[in-house]
């Protein structure tokens, strides 16, 4: 019986592919996500989940402010089946002000797809996110998007990807022209040709098998000049770039490249078909205590994101749990490591953007939503009793600070509740000054203030105003000597605050004042992260 259980768990693990889609804003990442969902049959038309007659919005951008601004500000989780595989996509915010959410999300994936705009090439935020993936040796596939527009030469782009992102590229598809001259994509991985038509649909019968590029039929399909250029370019690729190596890709040492146009749903299927073949199943996860392998029978998982008000009508707060090992089952008692208590979940959910389905069980690689009344923090572990702390879930020191003031005294209760819940999501940090109890919000980027203000008004019916606060850094304080903490409290009260967990924080107005405080209080350690 035990052997059968082990085999069925292993078959579930082998079926799963969990990946993140990352890019600079406007590279077409959310559009690509949606096209992948179309192939999986998860949606029937673009913008299908949240559409109206005037304007359609991408399925994964379900928060109201995302529609207003046309950007993703929260990680969306979507699951669908394709070719007998369970695909879990995490679509991340591209905007740098929300990088913290993206960095945390990347701890929950096993591979990534990097989207690059053919005209803009490699941009700043793409560099930052790829750097995070490379430090974790995450396998990455590159999708060069918007081939129906004029852009950079294919070989120049490959050089840029290698130079700026430090990748070792291996083109597995190649474009025939671009912009007005874009005729289609030659699939190097499976030796076939797909001709472009801007109707936004793609079916298998449009694929033309070409075993030999020197065949005259190629010229009949795309014309003699384009056929000659394609032959020449494919010949160059074979001479310059290595053949695809599955092991090198799995180790993060080789990066397949595909070309296409997500908005026209072109070149996406080639990448998806290759992805389901080569992308790794759920991988082992590193914990402080030991390495956790997916095939272990005991369940483990960690919370990498918390989202309040996914459904504003129900005021629900959901913790996103990545399952690392074993089988997660509904209505089963699990051990909350940080709180040292047992919990059970009667309605765990899987996601299709904002649509949720209750599930009975889930397996390594799956992302499960747990309804949460305030028990979870980012980084929390759930197990069957073992004490495990998963590593690598980052927390950042804020770089921008503002006082938050109540703009509607009749709604102070709603404001306090809204601020508390939004801070628990990890998008920003809340500090309460020791000398006057004023509340300060600290964020990594300025756009987060706008998002918080918007969400407070539309989800909690509370209004706030901000007041600028010139600040260099927030530092968490610790000391082995309680008297040293008492001394800094008495001498620096107007520079001190408590974070939402009651930890003592020093608010430094400048690099110089921070340096002076460190010199004057040698027994106190100043930490730039709350995780110490």
pLDDT of residue 199: 53
Say whether pLDDT at 435 is over 80: yes
Judged by average pLDDT, the poorest of 18-27, 60-69, 70-79, 210-219 is: 60-69
- Identify whether residues 411 and 346 lie together within a single domain: no
Give the residue with greater pLDDT, 457 vs 352: 457
pLDDT at 333: 95
Q: Are both 266 and 298 inside the same structural domain?
A: no
- Identify whether residues 423 and 442 lie together within a single domain: yes
pLDDT class of 192 with cuts at 50, 70, 90? confident
Backbone dihedral region for residue 184 (phi beyond 0: left; psi -120 to 50: alpha; all else: beta): left
Structure-model confidence comparison of residues 517 and 38, the more confident one: 517
- d(Cα 144, Cα 28) in Å, to the nearest integer? 10
Report the relative pairing of strands 496-499 and 439-443 from DSSP bridges.
unpaired
pLDDT in the model for residue 450: 82
Q: What percentage of the chain carries pLDDT values higher than 70?
A: 82
What CATH number does the domain containing 144 carry? Answer: 3.40.50.300
Whole-number pLDDT of residue 531: 62
Highest mean pLDDT among 95-99, 148-152, 322-326: 322-326
**Mean pLDDT value across residues 105-118:** 91
Q: State pLDDT tens for residues 119-138.
A: 999 988 788 788 878 878 89
What span, in angstroms and rounded, lies between the C-alpha atoms of 199 and 263?
10
290 shares its domain with 273:
no
pLDDT greater than 80 at residue 374: no
* % the chain with pLDDT above 90: 41
Cα distance between residue 255 and residue 81, in whole Å = 24
Query: Looking at the domain assignment, is residue 503 inside a domain?
Result: yes
Q: Across the chain, what does the average pLDDT equal?
A: 82
Tell me, yes or no, whether 2 lies in a domain.
no
CATH number reported for the structural domain that contains residue 424 in this entry: 3.30.70.3280
Domain count, the chain: 3
Same domain, 251 and 208: yes
Query: Residue 520 phi/psi, 5° resolution?
Result: -80, -20
Same domain as 359, residue 240: no
Instruction: Tell whether 274 and 370 lie within a shared domain.
Output: no
Same domain, 341 and 197: no
* Exposed/middle/buried for residue 481 (C-beta within 10 Å: 0-12, 13-18, 19+): exposed
pLDDT at 50: 38
Q: Among residues 249, 278, 307, which one ends one of the domains?
A: 278
- For residue 198, tell me if it sits in a domain: yes
For residue 304, give its domain range: 285-383
Residue 150 lies in a domain: yes
- How confident is the model at residue 515, as a pLDDT? 93
Integer-rounded Cα Rg, in Å, for the chain is 25
Which tokens belong to 513?
């004042």
Give the tens place of pLDDT for each residue, 479-528: 999 999 999 998 988 899 998 888 899 999 999 999 999 999 999 999 87
Residue from 516, 89, 57, 33 nearest 265 by CA:
33
pLDDT at 3 over 50: no
Task: Give yes or no: residues 272 and 290 share one domain.
Answer: no
pLDDT of 75 above 80: no
User: How far is residue 154's CA from residue 176's CA, in Å, rounded to a whole number?
Assistant: 10
Residue that finishes a domain, picked among 227, 256, 278: 278
Secondary structure (DSSP) of 105-172? HGGG-SEEEEEEETTTBS-HHHHHHHHHHHHTT--EEEEEE-TTS----HHHHHHHHHHHH---EEES
Compute CA 81 distance to the chain's CA centroid, rounded to the nearest angstrom.
Answer: 20
For residues 160-178, b (16+ Cβ closer than 10 Å) or e, as one string? Answer: ebeeebebbbbbbbbbbbb
d(CA 62, CA 81): 21
- Indicate if 118 and 42 belong to the same structural domain: yes
Domain assignment of residue 391, yes or no: no
Residue 64 lies in a domain: yes
Q: Give pLDDT, residue 49.
A: 38
Q: What is the pTM of this model?
A: 0.74
Would you state the pLDDT for residue 105? 79
Distance CA 11, CA 37 (A): 23
**More confident position, 25 or 185:** 185
d(CA 255, CA 170): 6
Q: Is residue 3 a part of any domain in this protein?
A: no
Listed residues 383, 409, 432: the one ending a domain = 383
Beta bridge partners of 504: 498
In 3D space, the residue among 387, 346, 386 whose CA is nearest the CA of residue 370 turns out to be 346
Examine residue 239 and state whether it is found in any structural domain, yes or no: yes
Domain shared by 254 and 158, yes or no = yes
- The verdict on 227 and 333 lying in the same domain is no
């Amino acid at each position: 019986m035990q052997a059968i259980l082990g085999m069925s768990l292993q078959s579930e693990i082998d079926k799963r592919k969990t990946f993140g889609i990352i890019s600079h804003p406007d590279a077409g990442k959310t559009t690509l996500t949606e096209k992948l969902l179309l192939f999986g049959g998860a949606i029937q038309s673009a913008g299908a989940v949240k559409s109206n007659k005037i304007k359609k919005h991408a399925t994964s951008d379900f928060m109201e402010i995302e529609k207003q601004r046309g950007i993703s500000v929260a990680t969306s989780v979507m699951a669908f089946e394709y070719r007998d595989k369970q695909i879990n996509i995490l679509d991340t915010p591209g905007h740098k002000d929300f990088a913290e959410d993206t960095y945390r999300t990347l701890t929950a994936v096993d591979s990534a797809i990097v989207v690059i705009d053919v005209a803009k090439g490699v941009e700043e935020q793409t560099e930052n996110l790829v750097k995070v993936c490379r430090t974790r040796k995450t396998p990455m596939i590159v999708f060069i998007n918007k081939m129906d527009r004029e852009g950079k030469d294919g070989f120049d782009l490959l050089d840029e990807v290698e130079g700026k992102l430090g990748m070792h590229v291996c083109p597995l598809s190649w474009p025939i022209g671009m912009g007005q001259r874009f005729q289609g994509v030659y699939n190097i991985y499976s030796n076939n040709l797909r001709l472009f038509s801007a109707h936004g649909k793609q079916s298998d019968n449009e694929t033309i098998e070409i075993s030999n590029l020197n065949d005259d039929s190629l010229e009949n399909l795309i014309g003699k000049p384009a056929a000659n250029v394609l032959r020449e370019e494919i010949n160059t690729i074979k001479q310059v770039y290595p053949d695809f190596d599955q092991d090198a890709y799995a180790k993060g040492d080789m990066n397949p490249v595909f070309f296409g146009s997500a908005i026209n749903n072109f070149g996406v299927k080639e990448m998806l078909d290759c992805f389901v073949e080569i992308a790794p199943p759920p991988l082992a996860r590193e914990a402080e205590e030991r390495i956790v392998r997916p095939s272990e029978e005991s369940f483990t998982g960690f919370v990498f994101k918390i989202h309040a008000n996914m459904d504003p009508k129900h005021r629900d707060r959901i913790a996103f749990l990545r399952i690392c090992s074993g089988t997660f089952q509904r209505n089963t008692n699990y051990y909350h490591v940080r709180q040292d208590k047992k919990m059970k979940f009667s309605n765990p959910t899987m996601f299709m953007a904002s649509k949720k389905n209750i599930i009975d069980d889930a397996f390594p690689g799956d992302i499960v939503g747990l309804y949460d009344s305030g028990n979870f923090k980012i980084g929390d572990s759930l197990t069957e009793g073992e004490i495990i702390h998963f590593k690598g879930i980052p927390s950042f020191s804020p770089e921008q600070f503002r006082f938050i003031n109540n703009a509607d005294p009749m709604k102070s209760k709603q404001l306090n509740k809204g601020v508390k819940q939004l801070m628990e999501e990890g998008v920003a940090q809340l500090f309460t000054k020791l000398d006057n109890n004023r509340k300060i919000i600290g964020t990594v980027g300025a756009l987060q203030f706008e998002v918080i203000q918007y969400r407070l008004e539309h989800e909690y019916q509370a209004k706030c105003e901000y007041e600028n606060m010139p600040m260099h850094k927030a530092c968490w304080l610790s000391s082995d000597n309680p008297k040293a903490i008492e001394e800094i409290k008495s001498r620096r009260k107007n520079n001190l605050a408590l974070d939402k967990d009651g930890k003592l924080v020093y608010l430094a107005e400048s690099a110089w004042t921070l340096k002076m405080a460190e010199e004057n209080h040698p027994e106190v350690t100043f930490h730039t992260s709350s995780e110490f």
